[in-house]
Structure 1
Amino acid sequence: MSLKHENNSGSDAAGYKQGTVDSTAGQQFPAENAEAVATNSLQRNLKGRHMQMIAIGGAIGAGLFIGSGGAFQTGGPASVFLGFLIVGVMVYLMMQALAEMTVLYPINGAFTMYICRFVDPSFGWACGIEYAISWLTVLPFEISAACNMIHFWPGSHGINNAAWIVPLLVALVVIQIFGVRGYGEVEFVLSLMKILACVGFIILGIIIDVGGVPTDDRGYIGGRYWNDPYSAFLNGFHGFCSVFVTAAFAYTGTELTGLAAAETMNPRKEIPRASNQVAWRIGIFYVVNLLLVGLVVPANSPLYGSATSVSKGSPFVIAIELAGIKVLPSIFNAVILIAVMSVANSCTFGSTRTLQALAANGMFPKKMAYIDKKGRPIPVVILQLLFGLLAFINLAHNGGTIFNWLLSLSGLTILFVYGGIALAHIRFRKAWAMHGHTLDELPYKANCGVWGSWICLLVCVLALIAQFYVALYPVGGPNLDPTTFFQLYLAGPLLLFLYVLWKGYSWIYEPSHRPLFIRTKDIDIYTGMREISNVGVSAEDRRASDAELGAEKRKPGAAGFIKNAIRNII
């Protein structure tokens, strides 16, 4: 298994033995040879523009456009604004930690393998399996949601959802035929359309709020819906706690840049760039948009619960409806449909790469590790698409209940994964220092350092505690109800079950995995290490990369900062 150290023949690290410190203290490690890092045949077909769009494309979806509506109803506009802002900061800190590790170790499986290597294989396996399950179960849900979006248009009335499920699944199959390049190109186009829609809504939201829409009888709105007789914080602290999981679910997909590292042409350059751009895009496309929605849509709007409302109560569409604009609801419904299909596209990437990496490391059935000559993990792709067939369950009379339980498996998963990434970064930094290395040796350093990971981990823990409280005492009741609790918190017991399952298995078959956690001196920081992106680089390429890295580390000055900020936004 790649979790165990393998000596890199011909390198300065050849004498390294796991658990020793003095033998390698202060050494510089050359770019590894092709044999040491070519652990899979995934192809590096993702370009910089793909990576930058994946960083936001996998995140902007139904969680933002539709799921935020429930958060407005339970928490109010101020709770949504603060909740998404806090979780957004946590996501940025997580992405910085992930970028630091991914640039140094652009390996298949990324954060799942980091948790296995730097924290504990059992915890990493549990996070990886639950993360894959979350994508497997979200895919049929997204397909069903896409069918609901289609039914908005009059021409689709009376047509059974099965007529839409089949072509949507076929479209996903066609994308998979083209491998990771097909995924990247589709995500690039869909993400660009979503970005334009978000920017357009910001402009429209400002116009609505200042009373610039002639068809809106409300006139100037300002902060009306944040004051009496309305409320900025519905249900007080209770309502505020209910927002965190909704926000975390809405941000899910941002971490896909880490999974894409093994298929990126230049991970050392593109991953930090994509990670740094996350901050600007979180602030603009999430926080600003939701702030404007909270200003122009009252949290108690009857359209949230109306069966005739467009797009199942999307607060964005409700804002357009309340303004009396007749054409835009149909256009924005199409945007929501695009967003849903974008998430479905991300589902096939997130689950397949995670399961293939686990299989390649002996932690999942070996047949699932197979990759064809074009870099496509065929067995796990087939598994993901088979889960897509569960969308037909929604055609049954009790299909909605079944879907609620399927989605309960993924409700908290992303918080466990983000917390695991932060913990892995903390352990990595400690092991890096123990083995005698300095931060200047890292190709990329997280902007907020290890303290950023501690803050990220703390926010994850607090969000899990808040959700536990909401699961026991949900807004509107029933209190202490077992069914409600497990629908809101099933991912927690599932993670514990998976952890105990692998720990029990490893106690018999993998003795090295028996300890509760890996001791710092036993952490392997050398296997798969890369100092620059490409395999088998020459000394000249290495010097050029070091010079480029040095130039990037230099302070750009005020003009350069403004220039970089504008470039990141656009």
Structure 2
Amino acid sequence: MSYSPEKGALDEKHAKGANAYGGDPEASPAFDSGETIVGENKLHQDLKGRHMQMIAIGGAIGAGLFVSSGGAFQSGGPAAVLLGFMIVGAMVYLVMQALAELAVLYPVNGAFNMYICRFVDPSWGFACGWQYAISWLTVLPFEISAACNIIHYWPGSEGINNAAWIVPLLVALVVIQFFGVKGYGEVEFVLSIMKITACIGFMFLGIIINCGGVPTDDRGYIGAKYWHSPYTAFLNGFHGFCTVFVTAAFAYTGTELTGLAAAETANPKKEVPRASNQVVWRIAIFYIVNLFLIGLIVPANSSLYKAEGSTSRHSPFVIAIQLAGIKVLPSIFNAVILISVMSVANSCTYGSTRTMQALAANGMGPKLFAYVDKKGRPVSVIVLQLLFGCLAFINLAPNGGDIFTWLLSLSGLSILFIYGSISLAHIRFRHAWKANGHSVDELPFKAKFGVYGSYVCLLINVLALIAQFYVALYPIGGPNLDAKNFFENYLAGPFLIGLYLIWKVYSWFMVPSDRPFFVAMKDIDIYTGMRDSQRAISGLDVPEEQRRASIASMQAENKKKGPKDYVMGVVRSIF
């Protein structure tokens, strides 16, 4: 497939790049759709704006906030948790800005995995993509098992075998998948509304508890009591602060799903930036405010953190309500935690299936995985994901927990590698964009802090990985320099390197173009997969006069007319 640039199409090099990584037949007419999707079917663009908003929110509010944050409070203390979640939250906002800039310009199937392949290195993209997919594959049975554990919070459920809960939960996921991406979007919309309502309600409750407004709470006015002697704001010093990083990164996992959803969104140019811009408000309101309140009203050394029974009993949110002596409400919040876990399970089926389908469609996985049926469902990988869900039955075995520990350790750090790689891809894209004579004024959406934001994001990811390496070698409470403990916490690193070497060795013989250790700047393809409307501005053969006129028109369209527009922009970003 070769087209003449003089005729406004792609040359042979760019056509080859399209067939290799991430071309979108919808966005790029010069791309052979047979290379992307097996058969004539493709993913449907059924997601609306409200779905995109809630997918991003649903990814940000889950068990990481409601349950895992409890471990962070015990390890680092309230100040370390607040500071750590703010730093990682800033990193997530920066990576979402970079991802939005790329997703709006290139709404290709596979999103950030294909950006890493195109702008960094195909072997690194292969490694990151499969580790990301495997992380969602292994998290699904874990979340189903966690849901069973949470159900045991309620009296009368202890004697019931977990299989009685695993089967209906799996059936529910199968039913959701039957309705395709629209089913996923609608379910996430409803579940996210419930989680948002719970978070907002807890904010008011937390303030009332702190001010001594609960009659059943004999502590009275609390204020910042738990931040001062005999308590402490920082537990275990710098060591404790380092442990917070990975907990925070895990808690924010799922926010990046808006990037994957861009290929199935009716209007990604409008909805992806809106969802990305809302990240900073979501983090500030739902995470920072709630965690700050938890740090004020729950002592980090509370004995309730070590209470026997359901995992959700260790949730700092449930403990806060119990310490206030409020009846019934702990049970209601336990139901919210169960909903959050099932929301994550719903996201698992989406994140893994779309990633594997995109990798297979671009020649980095079995061709069977690339199949999409007439209703836009990647059936083969959906079946694989649901079969992985059946691993939840392993937890019925006496040593099932050990098996899950090693399964999850394969990809426990994957999100840090993904976020760092997205930042690196954005940095290299910006340099390639400039090297090809284009300016940032041509971009339909620009990351708020530009390429410098991606440098900061990459630095935070590197520091977080170093911190986790230190904690894996020297965990709080020991044992120090223990091989088993280290690999349980850091096995994802060697696993990622192993995946990288697999594709690098394979491509050395089978895909000679992928032999270099990184894509040379002169070889980076910035045209394939570009949306049609952008070609009139940044295409290969666009006259300079037309380009300047298009930029002026775009700037006039985006220009805010006065204070009212700025206020409305903030309101839309929050709500």
TM-score range, shorter chain: over 0.9
Distance in 1, matches of 2:397 and 2:311, equals 23
Letter in 2 for 1:36: F
Shift of 1:567: 2.7
Q: 1:216 to 1:120 in 2, by over 3 A?
A: same
Distance in 1, matches of 2:242 and 2:561, equals 40
Question: What per-residue deviation string (whole Å, max 9, x for no partner) do you get for residues 479-518 of structure 1?
Answer: 0000100011110110111111111111111111110100
Check conservation: 1:75, 1:243, Cα contact below 8 A.
yes
Question: What per-residue deviation string (whole Å, max 9, x for no partner) do you get for residues 348-389 of structure 1?
Answer: 000000000000000001111000000000000011001101
Runs (4+) of structure 1 exceeding 6 A deviation are 542-548
Q: 1:457 to 1:543 in 2, by over 3 A?
A: closer
Corresponding residue number in structure 2 for 1:468: 469
Distance in 2, matches of 1:372 and 1:201, equals 43
Q: 1:295 to 1:85 in 2, by over 3 A?
A: same
Distance in 1, matches of 2:427 and 2:239, equals 32
Corresponding residue number in structure 2 for 1:538: none
Distance in 1, matches of 2:12 and 2:155, equals 68
Shift of 1:568: 2.3
Find the residue that maps to 1:112 and give its secondary structure: helix
Distance in 2, matches of 1:513 and 1:286, equals 41
Corresponding residue number in structure 2 for 1:313: 314
Corresponding residue number in structure 1 for 2:211: 210
Distance in 1, matches of 2:365 and 2:11, equals 31
Q: 1:511 to 1:130 in 2, by over 3 A?
A: same
Shift of 1:546: 8.0
Shift of 1:151: 1.4
Q: 1:226 to 1:196 in 2, by over 3 A?
A: same
Corresponding residue number in structure 1 for 2:563: 558
Q: 1:50 to 1:534 in 2, by over 3 A?
A: farther
Unmatched 5+ stretches in structure 2: 16-25, 537-546
Distance in 1, matches of 2:350 and 2:535, equals 23
Question: What per-residue deviation string (whole Å, max 9, x for no partner) do you get for residues 120-174 of structure 1?
Answer: 0000000000000100000001001111111112232311100000000000000
1:225-304 aligned within 5 A: 225-304=226-305
Is the counterpart of residue 176 in structure 1 residue 195 in structure 2? no
1:369-388 aligned within 5 A: 369-388=370-389
Corresponding residue number in structure 1 for 2:31: 36
Question: What per-residue deviation string (whole Å, max 9, x for no partner) do you get for residues 517-537 of structure 1?
Answer: 0000000111111154999xx
Check conservation: 1:143, 1:341, Cα contact below 8 A.
yes
Letter in 1 for 2:565: G
Unmatched 5+ stretches in structure 1: 20-30, 536-541
Shift of 1:563: 2.4
Corresponding residue number in structure 2 for 1:392: 393
Q: 1:201 to 1:357 in 2, by over 3 A?
A: same
Q: Which moved more, 1:403-412 or 1:288-297?
A: 403-412
Distance in 2, matches of 1:148 and 1:63, equals 16
Distance in 2, matches of 1:281 and 1:398, equals 38
Find the residue that maps to 2:299 and give its secondary structure: coil
Q: How many residues align?
A: 550
Q: 1:138 to 1:309 in 2, by over 3 A?
A: closer
1:386-425 aligned within 5 A: 386-425=387-426
Check conservation: 1:412, 1:492, Cα contact below 8 A.
yes
Distance in 2, matches of 1:288 and 1:558, equals 27
Is the counterpart of residue 100 in structure 1 residue 101 in structure 2? yes
1:333-348 aligned within 5 A: 333-348=334-349
Check conservation: 2:91, 2:460, Cα contact below 8 A.
yes
Question: What per-residue deviation string (whole Å, max 9, x for no partner) do you get for residues 63-105 of structure 1?
Answer: 1110111100000000000000000000000000000000010
Check conservation: 2:52, 2:258, Cα contact below 8 A.
yes
Q: Which moved more, 1:116-125 or 1:542-551?
A: 542-551
Shift of 1:544: 13
Shift of 1:559: 3.2
Distance in 2, matches of 1:385 and 1:304, equals 33
Question: What per-residue deviation string (whole Å, max 9, x for no partner) do you get for residues 458-495 of structure 1?
Answer: 00000000000000000111000001000111101101
Corresponding residue number in structure 1 for 2:441: 440
Q: 1:434 to 1:466 in 2, by over 3 A?
A: same
Distance in 2, matches of 1:7 and 1:305, equals 67
Q: Which moved more, 1:403-412 or 1:225-234?
A: 403-412
Corresponding residue number in structure 2 for 1:87: 88
Check conservation: 2:98, 2:447, Cα contact below 8 A.
yes
Distance in 1, matches of 2:525 and 2:75, equals 46
Shift of 1:562: 2.5
Q: 1:172 to 1:533 in 2, by over 3 A?
A: farther
Q: Which moved more, 1:306-315 or 1:217-226?
A: 306-315
Corresponding residue number in structure 1 for 2:520: 519
Distance in 2, matches of 1:11 and 1:204, equals 65
Find the residue that maps to 1:36 and give its secondary structure: coil
Check conservation: 1:416, 1:460, Cα contact below 8 A.
yes
Check conservation: 1:8, 1:32, Cα contact below 8 A.
no
Shift of 1:309: 6.9
Distance in 2, matches of 1:412 and 1:552, equals 41
Find the residue that maps to 1:380 and give its secondary structure: helix
Distance in 2, matches of 1:138 and 1:547, equals 47
Question: What per-residue deviation string (whole Å, max 9, x for no partner) do you get for residues 293-347 of structure 1?
Answer: 1110000000001104771400010000000000210110010000000000000
Find the residue that maps to 1:222 and give its secondary structure: coil
Q: 1:11 to 1:83 in 2, by over 3 A?
A: farther
Shift of 1:396: 0.5
Distance in 2, matches of 1:374 and 1:251, equals 31
Shift of 1:16: 7.0
Check conservation: 1:310, 1:329, Cα contact below 8 A.
no
Shift of 1:411: 1.4
Letter in 1 for 2:408: L
Corresponding residue number in structure 2 for 1:12: 8
